[in-house]
Structure 1
Amino acid sequence: MSFPDLGIGVMGEQLWALLFVMVRIGAALLAAPLFGIRAVPVQVRIVLAAALGVYMLNWMPVRVPEDMLALPTLVALLGEVVIGMTLGFVLQLAFAAPSLAGEQIAGSMGMAIATAVDPASGSQSGAIGQFLGIMLTLVFLAIGGHLIWLRLVVESYTLFPPGADWDVGERGWLVASFASQILASAAIIALPVTLVLLLVQVVTGVISRSAPALNLFALGLPAGVLAGIIALLLATPLLAEQFVALAELALDMVAEAVRP
């Protein structure tokens, strides 16, 4: 093989091979919601990608290009980045469902202004969305979803070796169809709480219509917040089941994305 000389002999070839294998793993870790958040140091992601790369080189038949600086190799590296980003982005879509549901619930409760800085992304996010996102993260870790996802990333090397034909159009359509399912999942998550809040708003409207002297805002806002909190507490077992189903759906879609 023709590798650039790093002055370290045979170890230079092994290092270039390891770096080539780490591209897909590193892109997947960067795009994934758990491993790619700001709280995880870059050094941790590099060490994890290197550890998985060493495993791949020793236990999987990974074929490294002969010329690391040739144009076909650069094209293959671009394909590795696309595959890794796809594996992480599919999981990222699943973790966006609680945020969407939380925004809908917070808007119905009158708590849309209750925002805080999300430590995972560094952007402003609603308090309800952050609560549901943390809940999904705990459920995902409890069922071992992170381990299953890492296994799927490793298995992708046997299904789609470096340089293999990756149908970008078909995989892109698969990701788009999964995004539509995520929107439906977000609506299902928010539905029980929003129905309770709708009932509270109807009752508040009837009371304000019957007694115009009452201040609708002074009565409706506390009632909506209190009803929303109680509805969230009562719906927690149902939300846990929905989050388990959402995590399993996300893992199934990742497996579908790496299926030949």
Structure 2
Amino acid sequence: MNFGFGALEADFWRFVFVMTRIGAAMLAAPLFGMATVPYQVRVVVTGAIALMICAWTPVVAPPALLSLAGMLSVAGEVLLGLALGFVLQLTFAAPTLAAEIIGGGMGMSMATTADPVSGASSPALGQYFAVVLTVIFLGTGAHLNWIALLVESYAAFPPGSSWFVPERFEQMTQFASMMFITALLIALPVTLILLLVQVTTGIISRSAPALNLFSLGLPAGVLAGLAAMVAAAPLLTDFMIDLSASAVGQAAALLAQ
């Protein structure tokens, strides 16, 4: 489209084209794409990063964005941005899975709250783990490293390059498997203690059938789970720091040639 503004119009369409990859990544990322973040803030942050990239990187927009070739280029940019943000989503889902395992062992699966980020119900422990991971992710500066990778992606894969290959999706599948392994590692110390408590409760209930198993086992499981979480707090912090580093590392692996 040509509105007769010459070079100014070309720079504008180039600016809009650069915003597609950044906007898709911000939309898929767990922190920047939260429902609680206003759309105005997302647009301003996306535009600021795009302005920096246009000034530092010689990105060339397609000559006709509304043509078939231009729309395919835009689709490739959106796909790459969504992949960079989805990798962070996989990382942030690990503590939620760990909370599901721990909550089931403690008998706190009934304690669910409405997650303002996703709109679905999540366990109370999942909210706690998500807040801890978010604080550590921001405190260690991992979000700045991720934004730096987003900027470097224009040098690694300029618009129109062949990023859409099956090997990339195989990498994302491997990242998903690592998410389940990390969730099990986070939940393992607490679940082992809960298993001992449940075995002990079962032995007591068999020895004294007159005792009410639910009135004895549920408070014991909750107290033991809370005590185990307090004891495993330093280990949880180390896991969260490793998760923050692995999130940026997995995003960098997607940009490897």
So what's the TM-score if we normalise by structure 2?
0.97
The question of 1:172 aligning with 2:169 is answered yes
The question of 1:63 aligning with 2:60 is answered yes
C-alpha distance in structure 2 between counterparts of 1:91 and 1:224, whole Å: 33
The question of 1:111 aligning with 2:108 is answered yes
3-state SS in 1 of match to 2:217: helix
Q: Deviations over 1:146-178 (max 9, x none)?
A: 000000000000000001111331110000001
Q: Which amino acid is the alignment partner of residue 169 of structure 1? A: P
Partner of 2:235: 238
- Stretches of structure 1 lacking an aligned partner (at least 5 in a row): none
3-state SS in 1 of match to 2:32: coil
Partner of 2:148: 151
The question of 1:52 aligning with 2:49 is answered yes
CA RMSD of superposed structures (Å)? 1.1
Number of aligned residues: 257
3-state SS in 2 of match to 1:259: coil
Partner of 1:41: 38
Partner of 2:96: 99
Bigger Cα displacement from structure 2, 7-16 vs 195-204: 7-16
The question of 1:30 aligning with 2:24 is answered no
What is the Cα deviation at residue 9 of structure 1?
Answer: 5.0
* Runs of 4+ displaced beyond 3 Å: 6-10
Paired-residue identity, %: 52
Q: Which amino acid is the alignment partner of residue 158 of structure 2? A: P
C-alpha distance in structure 2 between counterparts of 1:163 and 1:232, whole Å: 49
3-state SS in 1 of match to 2:62: coil
C-alpha distance in structure 1 between counterparts of 2:227 and 2:116, whole Å: 26
Q: Deviations over 1:192-221 (max 9, x none)?
A: 010110011011111111111111110000
The question of 1:88 aligning with 2:81 is answered no
C-alpha distance in structure 2 between counterparts of 1:223 and 1:19, whole Å: 58
The question of 1:248 aligning with 2:240 is answered no
Matches within 5 A, 1:217-228: 217-228=214-225
What is the Cα deviation at residue 8 of structure 1?
Answer: 4.8
Q: Which amino acid is the alignment partner of residue 133 of structure 1? A: A
So what's the TM-score if we normalise by structure 1?
0.96
Contact 2:98–2:184 under 8 Å retained in 1 = yes
